[in-house]
Structure formats: structure tokens, C-alpha cells
Structure 1
Amino acid sequence: MQKTRTGRVLAATLALLVVLALPAFAEGKKGEANITPQTTMKELRENPSIADSGFYTYSQDKDCPPGQRLWERTTLEQYTNRYVAQGSADGMNLVIENYNAGVKVTHLFYTMDEIAQDSTKAKTALFYFPAKEAGAKYALVIPGSGWNESAELEEGACTAWQLHEMGYAVFVLRYRIWTDAGDNAPLEDIGRAVRYITEHAAEFAIQPENYAIVGYSMGGHLTGLFGSDAVGYKNYQVPKPAALLLGYPVNNMTLVKGAYRFLQDPGIREPRYYTMNVSDYVTDDFPATYHWHGKDDITLFALNAAQQEPVLEAALAAHNVPHKYIVYDHAPHVSGIGTGTDADGWLYDAAAFWEEQAAQNTAQQPAA
């Protein structure tokens, strides 16, 4: 049974690689960049440029029988939410424009042998948004995830679009979630993704150093841990991020820890990402961190808000880590770049923080 399942995954991945290798400008393969918040999910997914680009537009908990047909009839705004819908539409239009221009949007960072040995790795990918000019810095966006869904279309697309408009290259990570995320798989995905980007920096026309990671919710939790000595970037032989830019990150998964242990690592006693509090792993050399949340964030409230941002902020201060912390009156969970909330524009402020850290890093480097 395992061989059969692995064979199916391998065949599907090979088929995806063949599709991604086809010229983006092939006859009949171009779609129009006409996505709006009122575009239906069926229309969005049937756009040939989005379909052939490989960008992931699904939410696994919605897109399963018998609910898939119902959700395909909803608009992009109904499928996501009113805060991220316009940014998601802008991001999807950027995918279409990039694909139509011959850009390879989807990149697989695990080898075929690795995927054959572990079929869960076939569910990972990097979605590439080139900068307007060569030689730009890049940001890796790690969207949130909850149970059986991930937010590439919500937080990923809107953030990629806004960072692109600001002049950066952007990669949105699809990492393993739900029952595929055992044995710290999401952290391995981040490490391998950064290594892939670093090794292909010339191809992407980016600066491999002084990158930022933008993490939301669970993605923020993973981003924080990736900055740690214990399970972070040093374990994957990749450069240290210049800055971690965190939107409503989870610091402590509180009562949810047991459920994740049962689903992902039954019988395992060692620490895993969901049992680790980011604040416990902050050290003096932790990356510079910008983090924010809203007072009306119901998700963080349900996870005991007192154990979240305030504790992370205290740890950053105790270790003299360069940081900035903002609390907004109105900024719900999954509001992404903050459109329609008090957090609107936060990413511009965070990018300025990132640039300051990058400039200091460059100034501290020894002369050649």
C-alpha cells in the first residue's frame, strides 16, 4: 500500500514538474489579469494562467466533498474575508502577469528522491514573485495555518503583492500542516526553502543576505522558532534573517498543544514546534523582531492573550533584541496587510525596520 501511495505521489509530482516546465506563453495558456474580490473561486481556478502557474488556491477543510462545489460558487471575498480579499485579488493578478511574462512561479525545494521517500514533502512549494528590479532584497512569507487549512491565498497573496509594490522580491511558502506536520516538518520546510533560495539567488536576481521573514499566526510561531538557536536557521546552514516581521503571531499554543501532539506525533515525548513557546527560545543573538496584534483578535484571546505577545515582548526586551511592538485597537486575526483595520500600512513600517537592521548588518561587515 505504501509503495502504491508513494508511486501516485511521485507520478503526480512528475506531472507537475512537466507542467511547470512548459513555456508560459504557449498558445491558449494565457489568462487575463482580471481577478477581483467578486470573482468566484471557480472562475479564479479556471483562469489558465493561475491553473498552470501552480499557485495553491485551496483550503483543505473547505475543498472536500461535498463542500467543494458549494465553495467554488462563492466569491474570493466570501472564500477569504473582507480584510484580505482585495490584496488577494491583487496578488492573483500579479501571478497571472508573472506567468504570462514567462516567470516560473512554483518551485519545489525537495528532490524527487526525497519526495519518493516521504510523500508529505510533495505538499510543499515556494511561490515566486520577482522584484521590479534585479538585485533586490527578498522576503519569505509564511502564512498562517489552522488544523486542515493554510493561508497562501489569504495572507500569502496580499503580502506578496504589497511587498512587490515596495520593490522587494517575495517567496510565499507552502509548508506541511495537519497530520503531515509531525517531527517538526514545518521547520524543516522553512530551512530547506531558505537554502533553496540562497543557492538559486543568481537565478532569482536577489540578494541572498539580509532577507526578512514575514510570519502570520502559526506562521509567526514557526518564524519565531526559526530565529532560535535550538531549532532555527543555524541548524540548516543558511544566513541569519535580518528581521522577523510578525503579524498576530502565536507565542504559546496553550491548550492546543495536546491535540497537536495526538495528531502529529503520538507517543513522542521530545519537544516539538507546537509544544515550544517562542519566548523561551529567545537569546541575545535572536534576529531583530517586529511584531503586532489587535485587541480584538479572537483567536489569540482563545489561546490566552496574556501568554502571547506580552510574553514574547518581555523576552525580546530581556535579551536586548532590537524590536518593535504595536498593539492596535481593531485588527482581527487573518487581516494580513491590515486593509480595513487599524493595522493598515503596518508592512511599510515593518519594512523600514527591516531596512534599518539590514543597513546595520552591512555597516558591521568587515571591509573586503
Structure 2
Amino acid sequence: MITENTKVEDLRKHKDLKTLFPYFIYNQVGDGAGNFKKDATCLKEIEQKNPTWAAEDMVYGLRQLEQICASGGQVLFDVYDSKEVQESPDKECVKLIYFPAKQCNNGSRKTIILAAGGAYGSVCSMVESFPVAARLAELGVDAFCLNYRVADGKALFPRPMEDMGAACQFLMQHQDTLGINMEHYAVGGFSAGGHLAACWGTPELGYAAYQVSKPDIILLAYPMIDVWKTVSLAPLPIRAMMLSGYLGKDHSQKVCDVYNVEQHMDMTYPPAFVVQAEDDPTVPVWNSQVFIEQLQTLQIPYCYEHPQHGLHGFGLGTNTEAVGWVDRAFAFWNKLERD
């Protein structure tokens, strides 16, 4: 059984989870261990190095994955087919990891696609998407965690947006086979993944561009909304590296504005639930504030939680002032459906 003392090497060799391991903390190395190079590192030690990455939450998500795999259920899905991967080999890493609903929701059956953060240089699903997906599955939502393309030396954007579009199209096309309902679906994300999820509500980068129906709601945890302004606060070497990674060598504010969410929101933008701590040291809280102000201007329903303390990267939020936010977001989603 997975515990807080389970080591990286144990997860790498786990009989049921080893095929999923590369997507636990995905980066271009592709080893699933992110920046934890020592296989002897345990989940509790990961938390000690990154205090908002609660070992308790990682265990919760991984145990549920373990149970799904042990029951024989399919967990890992390719978003792109073999022909698409042959034409663009970088698409091979784009996957969906499935947490099926554990119970019937009182309302209509629902589906969510979650995108973990990692500054678009990694996808930290093990600490963000997996625990939240596990909780939503217990609440009756079919939850899918998206592993999307990250920086690889070429201009990244808009490839993650293409991956979200392809993932939603895949689920639309296979909803009968999977037994899910994409008539009521949401998109959610954390940090950089929150930027990706927020883009999904805009006409140029989101659902309309991929001929997919509008989501019921967008769920955002500590999202990056204004890419240029946020990245510009970083020290010059890091700033240059990030902008080159996102936009290519010829990056400029004009090019970046295409990906600044609030500039492209209109009255068709979906309702939103947003949570971000006031003391977030990584993504300034004004990102959420400008997003909420735009929702207010457009008269779009929203719920905004901004606990004073919580820092960045808290995922499910256990042992923080944000604890329970997933249940409250789910309740807000249900309220929107009733209204």
C-alpha cells in the first residue's frame, strides 16, 4: 500500500502504476520524478522540500489510481492517434489519466478535464490533478487529468491549447464507449495549467476554435492569467528563458497578448470558480483579481475564494486555509445547473 513513506523508486517499479509513472511529474526528461532525482526520496520528503505539496494528498490520489488499476479499469488514454503522433512525435506524451466517478451525482452526470501546473516546463499531476480528481470522482464526477506538451526548446504556444482541444474532442467522440457525459463538462487547472484552462473559455484559443461545446464552468486554482506581466516580474535570465520557451526567440508583448486571458474574454465566457491565497509568492494574486474583475464587467457568474494564507501549489488544499475548496466548487457547479 502507498504511504507517505513510499519512495520514488517504489512508484517507478509499482506493478500497477509503472506505466503511469512518467506522467506523475512530467517533464522533457520524462522520468516522472520531476526534479526529485534520488529514487530513495519518499513522499514525505517531497513535502518537506515543497511544503504545499502535501504527502497526505499525494497518497490519496495515488491510492485511488492504484485501486482503479487493480480492478482492471483502463486508466491511461492516448489523446492523439498513431498517424498524428507519426506526423508530430511530440504529441506522443499527450495522455489522459482517468479517475471514474465512484457514485451517481444527484444531478446530471458530469465530466472534468484537469491540467496541473509546472510553469509550462513540467506537469505536476501527482501533487495537483490526481488528488483533486480523486475527490471529484468520490463526488460523482468522471475526472480526467491531462498530460500536455511542455517547453522543449521550440516555441511552445499554442501546443498546450491544441492538446486541450484534442482531449475534449477525444472525450466527445468516445463518451458512449467510456460511459461518460460530455454534455455537462468542466475544465480546470492549476497555475500554468490554470492559464491553459482559462484559455479554454476564450473564442480564439478555446472550445469554439475546436468546435467543442462550451463547458459548464471553469475551475481555476492560483491561475496565471496575464502571461507577459507575470513573467516580466521574474529575474531577467529566467524571464528571457520562459518567454523564449513559450513564444520562441522573437517574443514580444504583442505576440504574448494573444495568450493573455482577460484581453480575450467576452460575454460568452463560461462561469468560473477561482481559488488563490493572498500570500501566493509565485503567481501574484492580482492574476485572479483581474480575471474576476473581467467576469464582473461581463456579468458572468463566478465564485472567488482568496484565503489569506495558503501559498502556491496547494492542490487539494489539505491542511491549508483553502481546505474543502473542491467540494465548494462542485456545489457551485451544481447550483449553476439548477439555476
| Pairwise same-fold verdict (TM > 0.5) | yes
**Secondary structure at the counterpart of residue 128 of structure 1:** strand
Alpha-carbon contact 1:55-1:127 (below 8 Å) kept = no
1:256 pairs with 2:231: yes
Q: What is aligned with 1:75?
A: 42
Instruction: Tell me the secondary structure at the aligned position of residue 267 of structure 1.
Output: coil
**Within 1, Cα distance between the matches of 2:269 and 2:75?**
31
Identity, % of aligned positions = 27
Give 2:142's aligned amino acid.
A
Equivalent position of 1:220 in the other structure: 194
Tell me if 1:285 matches 2:258.
no
TM-score by length of 1: 0.80
| Partner Cα distance (2:27, 2:264) in 1 | 31
Matches for 1:236-275 after TM superposition, within 5 Å: 236-253=210-227, 254=229, 256=231, 259-264=241-246, 265-267=248-250
* Match of residue 210 from structure 1: 184
Q: Counterpart in 2 of 1:118?
A: 88
1:322 to 301, 314, 327: 301
Q: 1:158 aligns with which of 109, 117, 131?
A: 131
Task: Please say if residues 139 and 168 of structure 1, whose CA atoms lie closer than 8 Å, have aligned partners that are also in contact.
Answer: yes
Q: How many residues were matched structurally?
A: 321
**Out of 25, 38, 63, which is 1:93 matched to?**
63
Residues 254-263 or 208-217, more deviating: 254-263
Q: Does the 8 Å CA contact 1:214/1:244 hold for their aligned counterparts?
A: yes
Q: Is structure 2 residue 151 aligned with structure 1 residue 178?
A: yes
Given the superposition, is the C-alpha separation of residues 243 and 69 from structure 1 closer, same or farther in structure 2, using an over 3 Å criterion? closer
Which residue number in structure 2 is paired with residue 332 of structure 1?
311
**In the alignment, residue 348 of structure 1 is paired with which amino acid?**
D
Deviation per residue, 1:286-314 (Å, 9 max, x gap): 0001112111110024xxx43x1221111
Distance 1:226 1:133 in 2: 28
2:114–2:187 Cα contact (<8 Å) kept: yes
Give yes or no for the alignment of 1:347 onto 2:326.
Answer: yes
Structure 1 residue 57: deviation in Å? Answer: 2.2
Q: In 2, distance between residues paired with 1:337 and 1:285?
A: 29
- Structure 1 unmatched ranges of 5 or more: 1-33, 361-368
**Deviations along 1:86-135, whole A, 9 cap, x unmatched?**
12211111111111111111100111111111111112100011112477
**Partner SS state of residue 178, structure 1:** coil
Answer whether contact 1:184 1:273 (CA < 8 A) is retained. Answer: no
CA contact (8 A) 1:260 1:274 kept: no
Do 2:109 and 2:184's aligned partners in 1 also have CA atoms closer than 8 Å? no
CA contact (8 A) 1:215 1:245 kept: yes
